[in-house]
């Protein structure tokens, strides 16, 4: 292992440790073959190129990486020139995507520092948030722009060594999530780093280092400055990756869930006793179990559950105030709730339509006379609506629990029993 010491003005001081291939456990056999093709072609073209970030971290932890990201001194245009199957994306961060069928290998150019830059290359908001960041530099500058030490390790395809700039391997060993640089400045540059600290902590079962954790609650309000579309993607990573329940509890501790779901969090209690909180725990635990079992999940279902009880409270208010039938009140309340939620998390339209349908079906499921029960079972969203009804039964008990049990029996019964069941209405 060799060491090089770097000292930069106004930037983090680091010591580069180069771990040779005989002193680490990463094998090329574990690296995605398309990623290897990209690495090798860039290397052969004379560029400096590394595998970087989460893939290096996960390989060192003996986990299977989800993505294999690459960084290089080649510009996006130079990368595109080398690969016919390349497209350039992004305004805030200019990236090259190398497309292999359904698989995408992402290639980023080394990021540089923000000094005497033109407006169309780099831009920050008054609060310090990076709005545009196409600033290219050298590898020692790029590493300083990485978020956490465990994501700042570079695998060199040239000699199979690992370049560790900020003690990432040591933090991996000690199970530590540590930001590179001044946490307050780094969080202000990109508030999503706050959510990433939480996500990595739960996902890897690591603890957040003291200085990294200290400003999180204080700066949680910065998440309101993040585009709602980006927070939608982040919400799925946080709550639908197999450890949603634990993530939710940690997010509440740091006042983060409250920023993403302000409507829902207005019904939070100290002892987690409200229907809203019970539903949150139930749906997130159920989602975790489905992912563990390899079952499919639908993002719409999570939002159905998270917003259901706030929806009902608002519908009650609208029904009384505007003298509406309850079904109409639910529809109007649904429009209001989804509009308000979209200010923080932009749920795609394909999902909001599903959410509305499942909500409305909750009012239809008690109607079982004649052929109504059979017609309901033929609907595309019946199964999801029934699953949600069962969750409501666990929380609300009484009539809703009895209704969910009725539908469970009805779905699995023979035609004679089904006819007998609906004849009582």
147 is catalytic: yes
Structure tokens at 67: 């993505």
69 is catalytic: yes
If one counts every other C-beta atom within 10 angstroms of the C-beta of residue 221, the result is: 12
**Residues 282, 274: Cα–Cα separation, whole Å:** 12
Structure tokens at 339: 């509009």
* Choice among 58, 133, 147, 288 that is catalytic: 147
Residue for token pair 């999902």: 351
> Are the C-beta atoms of 71 and 142 separated by less than 8 Å?
yes
> Are the C-beta atoms of 355 and 347 separated by less than 8 Å?
yes
Query: 3-class DSSP state for residue 378?
Result: coil
Strands, sheet with 14-19, edge to edge from the N-terminal-most edge strand: 2-6, 14-19, 161-164, 153-156, 49-52, 69-72, 103-109, 95-100, 86-89
**Residues 226, 215: Cα–Cα separation, whole Å:** 18
Q: How far is CA 329 from CA 321, 334, 360, in A?
A: 10, 8, 11
Cα-trace Rg, the chain: 26
**Residues 183, 147: Cα–Cα separation, whole Å:** 10
* Choice among 67, 190, 316, 387 that is catalytic: 67
Structure tokens at 150: 């465990």
Nearest Cα to Cα of residue 303 among 283, 289, 285, 329: 283
Residue 35 backbone dihedrals phi, psi, to 5 degrees: -65, -40
**Residues 158, 160: Cα–Cα separation, whole Å:** 6
* Choice among 69, 133, 164, 288 that is catalytic: 69
Q: Which residues are catalytic?
A: 67, 69, 147
């Amino acid at each position: 292992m060799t060491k090089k010491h770097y000292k930069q003005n106004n930037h983090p001081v680091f010591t580069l440790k180069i771990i040779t291939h005989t002193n680490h456990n990463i094998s090329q056999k574990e690296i995605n073959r398309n990623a290897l093709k990209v690495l090798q072609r860039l290397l052969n073209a004379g560029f400096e190129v590394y595998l970087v970030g989460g893939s290096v971290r996960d390989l060192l932890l003996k986990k299977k990486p989800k993505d294999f990201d690459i960084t290089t001194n080649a510009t996006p245009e130079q990368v595109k020139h080398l690969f016919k199957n390349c497209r350039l994306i992004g305004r805030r961060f200019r990236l090259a995507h190398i497309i292999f069928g359904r698989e995408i290998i992402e290639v980023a150019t080394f990021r540089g520092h923000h000094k005497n830059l033109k407006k169309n290359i780099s831009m920050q908001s008054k609060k310090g948030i990076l709005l545009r960041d196409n600033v290219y530099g050298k590898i020692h500058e790029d590493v300083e722009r990485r978020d956490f030490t465990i994501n700042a390790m570079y695998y060199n395809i040239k000699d199979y060594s690992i370049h560790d700039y900020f003690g990432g391997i040591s933090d991996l060993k000690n199970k530590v999530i540590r930001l590179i640089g001044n946490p307050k400045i780094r969080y202000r540059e990109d508030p999503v780093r706050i959510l990433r600290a939480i996500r990595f902590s739960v996902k890897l079962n690591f603890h957040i280092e003291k200085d990294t954790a200290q400003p999180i609650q204080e700066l949680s309000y910065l998440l309101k400055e993040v585009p709602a579309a980006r927070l939608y993607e982040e919400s799925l990573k946080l709550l639908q990756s197999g450890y949603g329940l634990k993530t939710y509890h940690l997010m509440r501790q740091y006042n983060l869930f409250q920023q993403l779901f302000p409507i829902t969090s207005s019904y939070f209690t100290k002892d987690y006793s409200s229907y809203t909180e019970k539903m949150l725990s139930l749906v997130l635990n159920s989602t975790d179990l489905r992912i563990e079992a390899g079952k499919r999940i639908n993002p719409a279902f999570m939002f159905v559950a998270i917003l259901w009880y706030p929806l009902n409270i608002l519908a009650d208010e609208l029904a009384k105030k505007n003298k509406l039938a309850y079904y109409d009140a639910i529809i109007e309340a649904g429009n209001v709730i989804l509009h308000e939620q979209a200010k923080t998390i932009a749920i795609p339209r394909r999902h909001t339509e599903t959410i509305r349908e499942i909500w409305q079906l909750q009012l239809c499921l008690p109607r079982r006379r004649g052929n109504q029960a059979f017609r309901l079972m033929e609907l595309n969203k019946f199964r999801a609506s029934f699953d949600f009804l069962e969750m409501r039964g666990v929380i609300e008990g009484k009539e809703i629990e009895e209704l969910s049990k009725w539908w469970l029996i009805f779905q699995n019964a023979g035609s004679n029993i089904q006819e007998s069941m609906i004849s009582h209405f």
